[in-house]
Chains A and B, each alone.
Chain A
Amino acid sequence: MDALDRVVKPKTKRAKRFLEKQEPKLSENIKNAMLIKGGNANLTVTQVLRDVYALKKPYGVLYKKKNITRPFEDQTSLEFFSKKSDCSLFMFGSHNKKRPNNLVIGRMYDYHVLDMIELGIEKFVSLKDIKNSKCPEGTKPMLIFAGDEFDVTEDYRRLKNLLIDFFRGPTVPNIRLAGLDYVLHFTALNGKIYFQSYKLLLKKSGCRTPLIELEEMGPSLDLVVRRTHLASDDLYKLSMKMPKALKPKKRKNISQDTFGTKYGRIHMQKQDLSKLQTRKMKGLKKRPAERITEDQENKPKRIKNN
């Protein structure tokens, strides 16, 4: 445990728990996101960050003050923030003449920047602009990616992976079906990415599965991919490494037929077939007279073969 590995040990149990939460574990905590404003962030970008914070509550931190950094040139200040607030996802908003309404979304591995993608906001409709009831914070959203462009280039594939990582929320074993509240829909079309979020209305259909109707709820963005800073292949591979303990265990000696019949394999030691216990049929039992005649028959046979 890292808390005990330090030269200066934590003096209270609370400090020890705080340190234990931050150390690397087999199955990790839910990723926190930090939302940072750049030195020249305008109203649009600030509103976007606030809306994303509302979506990501309570697993997010919104920094209120402006931070004058440039993520693509110098990543040290981002890494420092990440280490202090223990956040591995970040979103940085800025605005200047060359890159208007700029949003940098990225993630960290071991408190160093892994992937960063710069997106330009072309159109933005905020949570405030759409006047209807919103869903409670902390619900797990449904994610849908549409369009074949998400698999074509490496950039888009990583962007899809990054967006899943950013928006997915906690991993739960069970989910209350009536509580599925909202869906985030990403469409890639003509080089643009349309991000829409809808509230789910479950209507009665004739059968058990309900009929879906959508109501536009939250932030909707039209994004354009600008610059990217993707991790090299081996760093990415290193970050994807799964611990052996979490890998699914193989069940040996059990196989299934195409019809669904389960077959098991038993390994036995070598059997002496002459000593096999078969069914005894009294009528077929050899009498002593017959056994002698059989021996006599066998002997001439042997002489013939020679």
Chain B
Amino acid sequence: MEGQSVEELLAKAERDEAEKLQRITVHKELELEFDLGNLLASDRNPPTALRRAGSAPEAELRALARDNTQLLINQLWQLPTERVEEALVAHLPEPATRLPREKPLPRPRPLTRWQQFARLKGIRPRKKTNLVWDEVSGQWRRRWGYQRARDDTKEWLIEVPGGADPLEDQFAKRLQAKKERVAKNELNRLRNLARAHKMQLPSAAGLHPTGHQDRDELGRAMQVAKVSTASVGRFQERLPKEKAPRGSGKKRKFQPLFGDFAAEKKNQLELLRVMNSKKPQLDVTKATNKQMREEDQEAAARRRKMSQKGKRKGGRQGPGGKRKGGPPSQGGKRKGGLGGKANPRPSGPGGKRKGGQHPGGKRRK
């Protein structure tokens, strides 16, 4: 009997608890996502009830809002709390949603000249007192600034030092010295500023080693490093298969303004002669190359026509006037690499050649 009543009591207590929790529980198909640092909740459930409501969804929206807010409040009430001056305060976590910044990250400023020196020597700033005892006025005064302790421009009596000119204005001299010190300080500050700004310019883009340099920047950095020796890179060794950098010389070559007088005279006389002559002058090399190119094009056009005809007529051998073959003859001097053509050019029917036989034209590609 007692056992029964105990069991009954327990069951009743459980039922009460469940009832209480029921009031604040909300059933959702998909759990909400919470970002308590921002007091944010995201509900991914598709709003089917709202869709049914149609044009005036206010009541439905309010019900949805109430449910979502209840869930958010449940989460917030589970955070660790403390009592601060009679108020219950919950400790929020860090905001989880990543939001863009409003300004870029602060860049570290480059050190000033003094800071570099101090770092090198290991000099650290000494702690100084704020106020200094001033004998003259008999009170504690600040170390620097308005009404400072030992201001030598404010003295009312200055003894003329031993070796100085008696008619010199010592007060003016002190003021002048102070102005010079201030100007020097300002100059140094501006110089430090200019140095700091120069460091942040992108002209030295690839030259400082970061982790993110691309191939061209690395190549440029390597070249600059090679040339930055005392003998301007003359005795720097190259790796076995490394090629010389192309394009590192001057881009345009100019003749010196005055140098070879004889050559200049010759050039100018030649120019005048060409201008005066009635007959057109012939550039033999150019002419030969032009001719060769024309002949090649004609031969190629004929070959194409033949191949088309050949396809239609079953691959017969067409008029073989222009068949290539035979021993290679002196076609011409070839300069540099040939490129595609491996077979040497035969001297075909030379009837079309203008200007007679010539020793050989340079085939320029």
Listed in ascending order, the chain A residues whose CB lies under 8 Å from chain B are 1, 5, 7, 23-26, 28-29, 31, 88, 107-110, 114, 140-148, 150-151, 160-161, 164-165, 168, 171-180, 183, 185, 187, 189-190, 194, 196, 198, 200, 202, 205-214, 216, 236, 238-243
Contacts and interface: CB of A to CB of B under 8 A. Distances in A.
A108 B103 CA distance: 8
A238 to B, nearest CB: 8
B92 A174 contact: yes
A148 B57 contact: no
Contacts of B37: 171
Given A26-B106, A177-B89, A209-B74, A187 B61 contact: yes
Given A26-B105, A143-B39, A198-B69, 11 more contacts: A24-B106, A114-B100, A146-B64, A146-B65, A171-B38, A174-B91, A175-B39, A185-B65, A185-B69, A202-B73, A205-B24
A78 to B, nearest CB: 14
Given A147-B43, A205-B20, A174 B69 contact: no
B65 to A, nearest CB: 4
Contacts of A209: 24, 73-74, 77
B105 A241 contact: yes
B99 A189 contact: no
Contacts of B190: 7
B151 interface: no
Interface of B: 16-17, 19-21, 23-24, 37-47, 50-51, 57, 61-62, 64-66, 68-70, 72-74, 76-77, 81, 84, 87-92, 95, 97-106, 109, 190, 193, 196
A173 B91 contact: yes
Contact of A206 (B20, B41, B77): B20
Given A88-B102, A145-B42, A148-B45, A171 B95 contact: yes
A108 B102 contact: yes
A202 B62 CA distance: 16
A146 B43 contact: yes
The 6 closest A-B pairs by CB, nearest first: A206-B20, A88-B102, A239-B100, A24-B103, A146-B43, A185-B65
Contacts of A240: 98-101
B103 A28 contact: yes
B87 A178 contact: yes
Contact of B90 (A26, A177, A242): A177
Contacts, number: 189
A212 B89 contact: no
A241 B19 CA distance: 48
Given A5-B109, A209-B74, A176 B87 contact: yes
Contact of B88 (A140, A161, A176): A176
Given A146-B43, A190-B51, A239 B101 contact: yes
A109 B102 contact: yes
B69 A144 contact: yes
B40 A24 contact: no
27 contacts: A7-B193, A28-B101, A109-B101, A109-B102, A142-B40, A142-B72, A143-B40, A144-B40, A144-B43, A146-B47, A146-B68, A168-B38, A168-B39, A171-B37, A174-B84, A174-B92, A175-B92, A176-B89, A185-B61, A196-B65, A206-B17, A206-B20, A208-B77, A209-B24, A212-B73, A240-B98, A241-B101
B106 A23 contact: yes
Contacts of B92: 172-175
Contacts of B23: 205-206, 211
Contacts of A108: 102
Nearest to B98: A240
Nearest to A198: B65
Contact of B64 (A151, A187, A207): A187
Contacts of A5: 109, 193, 196
B69 A211 contact: no
Contact of B68 (A28, A176, A178, A185): A185
B68 A144 contact: yes
A242 B101 CA distance: 8
A239 B81 CA distance: 34
